[in-house]
Amino acid sequence: MDRATASKLASELVSQMTLEEKAAQLRYQAPAIPRLGIPAYNWWNEALHGVARAGTATVFPQAIGVAATFDDALVQQIADTIATEARAKYNMQAAHGDRDIYKGLTMWSPNVNIFRDPRWGRGQETYGEDPYLTARLGVAFVKGLQGEGATLKTAACAKHYAVHSGPEAVRHSFDAVVNQKDLRETYLPAFEALVKEAGVESVMGAYNRVNGEPACGSKTLLRDILRGEWGFAGHVVSDCWAIKDFHEHHHVTDTAPESAALALENGCDLNCGEVYLQLLAAYQEGRVTEAQITTACERLMTTRYLLGTLGEGSEYDAIPYDDNDTDAHAALSQQVAEKSMVLLKNDGVLPLNLSKLGSVGVIGPNSDSVPALEGNYNGTSSRYVTFLEGIRTACAGKARVFYSQGCHLFRDRTSNLAMADDRLAEAVAVAERCDVSILCLGLDATLEGEEGDTGNEYSSGDKKGLELPPSQRKLLDAVVAVGKPVVVVLAVGSAMVITQGNAIVQAWYPGQAGGTALANLLFGNICPSGRLPVTYYRSTEDLPPFEDYAMRNRTYRYYEGEALYPFGYGLSYTRYAYSGARFENGAVHVTVENLGGWDADEVVQVYLKDHDSPFAVRNHSLCAMKRVHLAKGERAVVTLPIREDAFASVDDAGRHVYAGKRYTLWVGGSQPDARSVALLGQAPLAMDITR
């Protein structure tokens, strides 16, 4: 069904509703209207990295880990799988009369905010710091969720629109002040791509204000840009209880009816919260018109027709519950985890040779932790494999595995000090008697995440800094001091500062198969191929204040220092050679050869620098990428199309201009900064072009 047909049907249906019925449909807990054959519907569902919060489902790596694959085709496959499970669960639940929260087909994902500061707890939900990478993966995710059928498989949602990336503690009252250049150059491109290229069905507003306007009631964002400039035809939903913030925290209105009117007037169709209970009061006070309520209701009914939940149904109604949590979906989750893990450091200790190991120590608070696999906004897997379990399975019959928790994940001043080091001696004893120690450290969603979800010293969900908690730093020092090989595995959703250990693996929150994927990487069954979607800074002292939304000295495009580990960086067990690079017919063509002894994936990256435009970014920008599998000794010519808008820059008024003539394109396995070259031992090939 096309949108025009769905819109016509929606208009006819809404014309039969009373004002009260229309207003009631604008709440996320939409009641049934039996006389019109409209069933109850709860709009709130989540699908960030698997169907979330509603029982059993395949749990994929957290979004930031998915971003580390740099693989848009894989991301679309992930999202298509999630949509299949969402339909399987919805069909089963609807058949049993269960229409509760997290049971619908409107999936409030993906999160395409820019991870501008590594302290932001919800950065794990994003695709990283780069607008191009975020846009390409976001477009793929939306296409996978929505499908290519006659009806939508599920409805995707681009969130949180816009200029939203912490701090969590003050998000309900915070005003994100941003200039027009940064707005159009960094914060909006991914949203625009999801609207124009992917046809995303819904957009969710953010909690904060943007330049004084609350995002969920912003004329600038919702009316002028989203619908006016971009032609968005779907529906807008508020973040949950965000409209209440208008009068309680932002103080741009005085009463709930005023807040409801402001949001509705500027195009917020659906309220996740309770303020739209006041719509009839706002109508009686003359603040909203029936026509405005009708328009919002028609948009929502259009989405329900497009999903096939009203009218004649959907081809996806036939998906059985058996298609949830399948072996094939589990295999895909493992594949994604393997492609997401980033090898940050390796002095040669990896891969581990099991034939030469008598004993392996697995140490650390994230060794046997399910939350370290999950991240936030997760479902419940039926087949978790922790790091300890994956390593033990790999070592079965070959090497003895010793385990020690080592320390608690986190200890603050209110904890029992006598318990602080209660596992430290055991950890040292394990490290002393083992040939190698695999030290599993990091965080989980109780230490970095969303405001209101945490109960620790960070309380808001954001990190105070970039170091491990004190208990883990003490454990790391003690295990390294033993003097035997140490492999550090970090389960985190953000950048951390860590340099100790013979090898460091960034595992993210790797999903249900994280332990199997990690073991395959450690013992050489796969070759590491993940790349960093964020910059790893040396200290928060290198960064502007967290509350400052200006992009100067943030992310690899503007950073003025030397990164600990650069954006786009990741080591491998094999080596690649690049040759014959040329720019021709709007694309970069380059020959890539696998020189090592491993069949492996290489992530080919292209970066662009505009040498002339006074509005160009300080450094360079990612403008193309492609993951390529090469057998050992194999070479291939890789073609990477460069979008025309890559050559534009954004002026101070926020306009895209073509002010440059001389450009450099670099192609290689990393970005072209000195630190990337020093760490990887190779420089990307440079092509100077004139346009």
DSSP track, 555-578: HHHH--S--SB-TT--B-SS-EEE
Confidence of residue 459 (pLDDT cuts 50, 70, 90): low
Confidence of residue 458 (pLDDT cuts 50, 70, 90): very low
- The whole-number pLDDT of residue 454 equals 41
Q: Boundaries of CATH 3.20.20.300 in the chain?
A: 1-27+156-308
Q: Which residue has the higher pLDDT, 678 or 194?
A: 194
Q: Boundaries of CATH 3.40.50.1700 in the chain?
A: 39-102+121-126+327-534
Q: What is the 3-state secondary structure (H, E, C) of 458-517?
A: CCCCCCCCCCCCHHHHHHHHHHHHCCCCEEEEEECCCCCCCCCCCEEEECCCCCCCHHHH
Taking the CB of residue 505, how many other CB atoms lie within 10 A of it? Answer: 26
Per-residue pLDDT of 366-396, as tens digits, reads 999 999 999 999 999 999 999 999 999 999 9
CATH assignment of 1-27+156-308?
A: 3.20.20.300
Q: Domain 576-690 is classified in which CATH homologous superfamily?
A: Immunoglobulins (2.60.40.10)
Confidence of residue 421 (pLDDT cuts 50, 70, 90): confident
Q: Is the pTM of this model over 0.85?
A: yes
- The whole-number pLDDT of residue 415 equals 52
> What is the C-alpha separation between 181 and 215, in angstroms, rounded?
18
How, if at all, do strands 235-237 and 202-205 pair?
parallel
pLDDT of 329 higher than 60: yes
Q: What is the mean pLDDT of residues 610-632?
A: 98
CATH assignment of 39-102+121-126+327-534?
A: 3.40.50.1700
Of the candidates 352, 670, 390, 380, the residue with the CA atom closest to the CA atom of residue 516: 390
% of the chain residues with pLDDT over 70: 97
Per-residue pLDDT of 404-415, as tens digits, reads 999 999 864 445
Q: Boundaries of CATH 2.60.40.10 in the chain?
A: 576-690
**One-letter amino acid for residue 313 of the chain:** G
Of the candidates 516, 513, 440, 515, the residue with the CA atom closest to the CA atom of residue 476: 440
Give me 362's structure tokens. Answer: 């697995």
Confidence of residue 676 (pLDDT cuts 50, 70, 90): confident
- The whole-number pLDDT of residue 422 equals 82
Active site residues: 239, 448
